Structure 1
Amino acid sequence: MERVWLGGKVVELIPSIHADERGALAALAFDRHRFAAVRSFIVEAPDGARRGGHGHHRGRQLLVRLSGSIDVELRYGGTVERLTLDDRLRAVLVEPPVWASQTYRGERASLLVLCDTAYDPDDYSEDPV
Protein backbone atom coordinates (compact mmCIF):
# COMPACT_ATOMS: atom_id res chain seq x y z
CA MET A 1 0.00 0.00 0.00
CA GLU A 2 1.41 3.36 -1.03
CA ARG A 3 1.79 5.96 1.70
CA VAL A 4 0.74 9.56 1.09
CA TRP A 5 1.65 12.84 2.75
CA LEU A 6 0.29 16.40 2.60
CA GLY A 7 -3.17 15.38 1.46
CA GLY A 8 -1.90 13.33 -1.47
CA LYS A 9 0.52 15.98 -2.78
CA VAL A 10 3.36 13.52 -2.03
CA VAL A 11 2.94 9.81 -2.71
CA GLU A 12 5.25 6.82 -2.25
CA LEU A 13 6.03 4.76 -5.32
CA ILE A 14 6.75 1.17 -4.34
CA PRO A 15 9.14 -0.74 -6.58
CA SER A 16 8.49 -4.32 -7.53
CA ILE A 17 11.57 -6.32 -6.60
CA HIS A 18 12.79 -9.18 -8.79
CA ALA A 19 15.66 -11.08 -7.16
CA ASP A 20 17.59 -14.19 -8.03
CA GLU A 21 21.14 -15.49 -7.60
CA ARG A 22 22.44 -12.75 -9.96
CA GLY A 23 21.13 -9.91 -7.77
CA ALA A 24 18.01 -7.78 -7.60
CA LEU A 25 16.11 -5.53 -9.98
CA ALA A 26 13.78 -2.86 -8.58
CA ALA A 27 11.21 -1.60 -11.11
CA LEU A 28 9.10 1.55 -10.70
CA ALA A 29 5.94 2.01 -12.78
CA PHE A 30 4.73 5.56 -13.45
CA ASP A 31 1.57 4.95 -15.47
CA ARG A 32 -0.77 4.84 -12.47
CA HIS A 33 0.30 8.38 -11.60
CA ARG A 34 0.39 9.61 -15.22
CA PHE A 35 3.99 10.66 -14.81
CA ALA A 36 6.14 11.01 -17.92
CA ALA A 37 9.71 12.14 -17.32
CA VAL A 38 11.27 14.58 -19.78
CA ARG A 39 14.53 15.19 -17.89
CA SER A 40 16.52 13.77 -15.02
CA PHE A 41 19.56 14.48 -12.91
CA ILE A 42 21.55 12.77 -10.18
CA VAL A 43 22.67 14.58 -7.04
CA GLU A 44 25.52 13.12 -4.99
CA ALA A 45 26.37 15.00 -1.81
CA PRO A 46 28.56 14.61 1.27
CA ASP A 47 27.15 13.68 4.66
CA GLY A 48 25.09 16.54 6.09
CA ALA A 49 24.79 18.53 2.84
CA ARG A 50 21.44 20.20 2.29
CA ARG A 51 20.08 20.56 -1.25
CA GLY A 52 16.81 21.60 -2.83
CA GLY A 53 15.04 24.22 -0.75
CA HIS A 54 12.44 25.11 -3.36
CA GLY A 55 9.13 24.14 -4.86
CA HIS A 56 7.76 24.18 -8.39
CA HIS A 57 4.75 25.97 -9.83
CA ARG A 58 4.10 23.38 -12.56
CA GLY A 59 6.68 20.61 -12.53
CA ARG A 60 6.26 17.26 -10.80
CA GLN A 61 9.35 15.47 -9.52
CA LEU A 62 10.02 11.85 -8.67
CA LEU A 63 12.76 11.53 -6.04
CA VAL A 64 14.50 8.14 -6.11
CA ARG A 65 17.20 7.28 -3.56
CA LEU A 66 20.15 5.56 -5.15
CA SER A 67 22.50 5.24 -2.15
CA GLY A 68 22.90 6.37 1.45
CA SER A 69 19.86 7.84 3.13
CA ILE A 70 18.25 11.17 2.42
CA ASP A 71 16.12 13.14 4.88
CA VAL A 72 13.38 15.01 3.01
CA GLU A 73 11.50 17.99 4.44
CA LEU A 74 8.22 18.79 2.70
CA ARG A 75 6.05 21.90 3.19
CA TYR A 76 2.58 22.61 1.88
CA GLY A 77 -0.37 24.62 3.20
CA GLY A 78 1.39 25.44 6.46
CA THR A 79 2.09 21.76 7.19
CA VAL A 80 5.59 20.31 7.47
CA GLU A 81 6.28 16.61 6.89
CA ARG A 82 9.62 14.85 7.28
CA LEU A 83 10.51 11.48 5.82
CA THR A 84 13.67 9.54 5.06
CA LEU A 85 14.44 7.89 1.74
CA ASP A 86 16.25 4.65 2.58
CA ASP A 87 15.88 0.90 2.04
CA ARG A 88 12.28 1.02 3.32
CA LEU A 89 11.12 4.14 1.42
CA ARG A 90 12.86 4.38 -1.92
CA ALA A 91 10.87 6.85 -4.03
CA VAL A 92 8.30 9.62 -3.70
CA LEU A 93 6.41 11.64 -6.30
CA VAL A 94 6.15 15.32 -5.34
CA GLU A 95 3.36 17.44 -6.84
CA PRO A 96 3.50 21.22 -7.23
CA PRO A 97 3.58 23.53 -5.34
CA VAL A 98 5.11 21.42 -2.53
CA TRP A 99 8.38 22.91 -1.26
CA ALA A 100 11.12 20.35 -0.54
CA SER A 101 14.67 20.17 0.77
CA GLN A 102 16.93 17.15 1.11
CA THR A 103 19.68 16.45 3.65
CA TYR A 104 22.12 13.76 2.56
CA ARG A 105 23.25 11.16 5.12
CA GLY A 106 26.16 8.77 4.82
CA GLU A 107 29.11 8.59 2.52
CA ARG A 108 28.24 9.28 -1.13
CA ALA A 109 24.48 9.50 -0.65
CA SER A 110 22.83 10.05 -4.01
CA LEU A 111 19.42 10.89 -5.40
CA LEU A 112 17.96 10.46 -8.89
CA VAL A 113 15.39 13.14 -9.75
CA LEU A 114 13.01 12.65 -12.67
CA CYS A 115 11.00 15.69 -13.82
CA ASP A 116 7.95 15.90 -16.07
CA THR A 117 8.84 19.40 -17.34
CA ALA A 118 11.84 20.89 -19.09
CA TYR A 119 14.10 23.12 -17.02
CA ASP A 120 12.55 26.56 -16.55
CA PRO A 121 13.95 28.94 -13.91
CA ASP A 122 10.51 30.64 -13.69
CA ASP A 123 8.99 27.36 -12.46
CA TYR A 124 10.93 27.56 -9.16
CA SER A 125 9.52 28.92 -5.90
CA GLU A 126 12.00 29.63 -3.12
CA ASP A 127 9.34 30.35 -0.49
CA PRO A 128 7.66 27.46 1.35
CA VAL A 129 3.94 27.32 0.60
Structure 2
Amino acid sequence: METITRRTMTTIHDAICVEITKVHDTRGNLSVIEGNAIPFEMKRVYYLYDIPSGARRGGHSHKVQQEFLVALSGSFNVVLNDGNEKKTVILNKPNQGLLIPNGIWRELENFSSGSVCLVFASEVFEEEDYIREYDAFLLSKNGIS
Protein backbone atom coordinates (compact mmCIF):
# COMPACT_ATOMS: atom_id res chain seq x y z
CA MET A 1 0.00 0.00 0.00
CA GLU A 2 1.40 3.39 -1.00
CA THR A 3 1.40 6.18 1.55
CA ILE A 4 0.64 9.63 0.23
CA THR A 5 2.17 12.48 2.16
CA ARG A 6 0.59 15.89 1.72
CA ARG A 7 2.39 19.05 2.63
CA THR A 8 0.48 21.05 5.17
CA MET A 9 0.14 24.56 3.81
CA THR A 10 0.43 27.35 6.31
CA THR A 11 -2.09 30.16 6.12
CA ILE A 12 -2.27 33.62 7.63
CA HIS A 13 -4.44 32.07 10.34
CA ASP A 14 -1.38 30.16 11.58
CA ALA A 15 0.35 33.48 12.37
CA ILE A 16 -0.71 34.40 15.88
CA CYS A 17 -0.18 37.20 18.35
CA VAL A 18 1.31 36.04 21.63
CA GLU A 19 1.26 37.90 24.93
CA ILE A 20 4.69 38.11 26.53
CA THR A 21 4.92 37.87 30.30
CA LYS A 22 4.97 41.36 31.80
CA VAL A 23 6.09 42.07 35.34
CA HIS A 24 4.76 45.45 36.46
CA ASP A 25 6.79 47.42 38.95
CA THR A 26 6.66 51.05 40.06
CA ARG A 27 10.21 51.34 38.69
CA GLY A 28 9.09 50.19 35.24
CA ASN A 29 7.93 47.07 33.45
CA LEU A 30 9.95 43.99 32.63
CA SER A 31 8.99 41.39 30.01
CA VAL A 32 10.48 37.92 29.74
CA ILE A 33 10.71 35.47 26.84
CA GLU A 34 11.92 32.11 28.11
CA GLY A 35 11.06 28.44 28.26
CA ASN A 36 8.29 27.56 25.86
CA ALA A 37 7.05 31.13 25.33
CA ILE A 38 7.60 30.59 21.62
CA PRO A 39 7.26 27.16 19.96
CA PHE A 40 10.79 26.85 18.59
CA GLU A 41 14.39 26.96 19.73
CA MET A 42 15.85 30.39 19.00
CA LYS A 43 18.94 30.06 16.83
CA ARG A 44 19.28 33.68 15.78
CA VAL A 45 18.20 37.07 17.14
CA TYR A 46 18.37 40.33 15.20
CA TYR A 47 16.68 43.71 15.21
CA LEU A 48 15.65 46.43 12.77
CA TYR A 49 15.99 50.11 13.66
CA ASP A 50 16.58 53.57 12.14
CA ILE A 51 14.17 52.69 9.35
CA PRO A 52 13.60 55.73 7.11
CA SER A 53 10.10 57.13 6.76
CA GLY A 54 8.16 55.24 4.09
CA ALA A 55 10.65 52.36 3.92
CA ARG A 56 9.57 48.72 3.89
CA ARG A 57 11.34 45.63 5.16
CA GLY A 58 10.68 41.95 4.64
CA GLY A 59 9.23 41.23 1.23
CA HIS A 60 10.00 37.51 1.45
CA SER A 61 8.93 34.13 2.80
CA HIS A 62 10.87 31.31 4.42
CA LYS A 63 10.85 27.65 3.45
CA VAL A 64 11.76 26.40 6.95
CA GLN A 65 12.43 29.30 9.31
CA GLN A 66 9.81 30.54 11.75
CA GLU A 67 10.03 34.00 13.30
CA PHE A 68 8.70 35.82 16.34
CA LEU A 69 8.55 39.63 15.95
CA VAL A 70 8.27 42.16 18.79
CA ALA A 71 7.95 45.95 18.58
CA LEU A 72 10.37 46.89 21.35
CA SER A 73 9.76 50.56 20.67
CA GLY A 74 7.28 52.42 18.48
CA SER A 75 5.03 50.64 16.04
CA PHE A 76 4.89 49.10 12.58
CA ASN A 77 2.54 47.02 10.45
CA VAL A 78 3.19 43.43 9.41
CA VAL A 79 1.32 42.50 6.22
CA LEU A 80 0.91 38.72 6.04
CA ASN A 81 0.03 36.91 2.83
CA ASP A 82 -0.46 33.18 2.30
CA GLY A 83 -1.16 33.40 -1.44
CA ASN A 84 -4.93 33.39 -0.92
CA GLU A 85 -5.55 35.90 1.86
CA LYS A 86 -3.86 38.94 3.36
CA LYS A 87 -4.09 40.46 6.80
CA THR A 88 -2.31 43.31 8.54
CA VAL A 89 -1.15 43.05 12.15
CA ILE A 90 -0.14 46.22 13.99
CA LEU A 91 2.67 45.65 16.46
CA ASN A 92 2.94 48.45 19.01
CA LYS A 93 3.36 46.84 22.44
CA PRO A 94 6.66 45.48 23.77
CA ASN A 95 4.79 42.74 25.65
CA GLN A 96 3.16 41.30 22.54
CA GLY A 97 4.79 39.38 19.70
CA LEU A 98 3.74 37.96 16.37
CA LEU A 99 4.58 34.35 15.57
CA ILE A 100 5.04 33.87 11.82
CA PRO A 101 5.37 30.26 10.64
CA ASN A 102 7.24 29.30 7.50
CA GLY A 103 5.44 29.62 4.17
CA ILE A 104 3.98 33.07 4.85
CA TRP A 105 4.95 36.12 2.79
CA ARG A 106 5.60 39.10 5.06
CA GLU A 107 6.14 42.80 4.53
CA LEU A 108 6.88 45.27 7.31
CA GLU A 109 5.77 48.85 6.73
CA ASN A 110 4.54 52.06 8.33
CA PHE A 111 7.36 52.25 10.88
CA SER A 112 6.93 55.02 13.44
CA SER A 113 9.88 57.24 14.26
CA GLY A 114 12.26 55.46 16.64
CA SER A 115 10.68 52.04 16.20
CA VAL A 116 12.68 48.90 16.90
CA CYS A 117 11.63 45.45 15.64
CA LEU A 118 13.20 42.53 17.50
CA VAL A 119 13.17 39.19 15.66
CA PHE A 120 13.74 35.73 17.13
CA ALA A 121 14.41 33.18 14.38
CA SER A 122 14.25 29.39 14.49
CA GLU A 123 17.21 29.00 12.13
CA VAL A 124 20.58 30.57 11.42
CA PHE A 125 20.79 32.68 8.26
CA GLU A 126 20.79 30.63 5.07
CA GLU A 127 20.02 32.41 1.81
CA GLU A 128 18.59 29.17 0.37
CA ASP A 129 15.75 29.33 2.93
CA TYR A 130 14.47 32.64 1.54
CA ILE A 131 11.90 33.04 -1.22
CA ARG A 132 12.44 36.63 -2.33
CA GLU A 133 10.30 36.76 -5.48
CA TYR A 134 6.54 36.87 -4.98
CA ASP A 135 5.81 34.81 -8.11
CA ALA A 136 8.18 32.08 -6.87
CA PHE A 137 6.38 32.20 -3.51
CA LEU A 138 3.02 31.63 -5.22
CA LEU A 139 4.47 28.70 -7.18
CA SER A 140 5.85 27.19 -3.95
CA LYS A 141 2.40 27.41 -2.35
CA ASN A 142 1.02 25.42 -5.27
CA GLY A 143 3.65 22.69 -4.82
CA ILE A 144 5.78 23.84 -7.75
CA SER A 145 9.43 24.39 -6.83
Aligned equivalents of 2:57 and 2:35: distance in 1? 25
What residue number does 2:76 align with? 70
Query: Aligned pair in 2 of structure 1 residues 125, 81: CA closer, same or farther (>3 Å)?
Result: same
Q: For structure 2, which runs of at least 5 residues remain unmatched after alignment?
A: 1-10, 139-145
Aligned equivalents of 1:88 and 1:116: distance in 2? 20
Query: Aligned pair in 2 of structure 1 residues 27, 33: CA closer, same or farther (>3 Å)?
Result: closer
Indicate yes or no: 2:32 matched with 1:27: yes
Aligned equivalents of 1:72 and 1:18: distance in 2? 26
What residue number does 2:62 align with? 56
What residue number does 1:17 align with? 22
Q: Deviations over 1:23-68 (max 9, x none)?
A: 1012234616531111111101123210000000000011111111
* Count of residues in Structure 1 that have an aligned counterpart in Structure 2: 124
Indicate yes or no: 2:116 matched with 1:110: yes
Aligned equivalents of 2:38 and 2:47: distance in 1? 22
| Identity percentage of aligned residues | 25
What residue number does 2:106 align with? 100
Aligned equivalents of 1:16 and 1:32: distance in 2? 9
Q: For structure 1, which runs of at least 5 residues remain unmatched after alignment?
A: none
TM-score (norm 2): 0.77
TM-score (norm 1): 0.86
Aligned equivalents of 1:120 and 1:6: distance in 2? 23
In proportion to residue count, which structure has more strand? Answer: 1
What residue number does 1:91 align with? 97
Say which SS state the counterpart of residue 106 (structure 1) adopts.
Answer: coil
Q: CA RMSD in A?
A: 2.0
Greater Rg, structure 1 or structure 2?
2
Query: Aligned pair in 2 of structure 1 residues 75, 30: CA closer, same or farther (>3 Å)?
Result: farther
Report how far residue 89 of structure 1 moved: 7.5
What residue number does 1:6 align with? 12
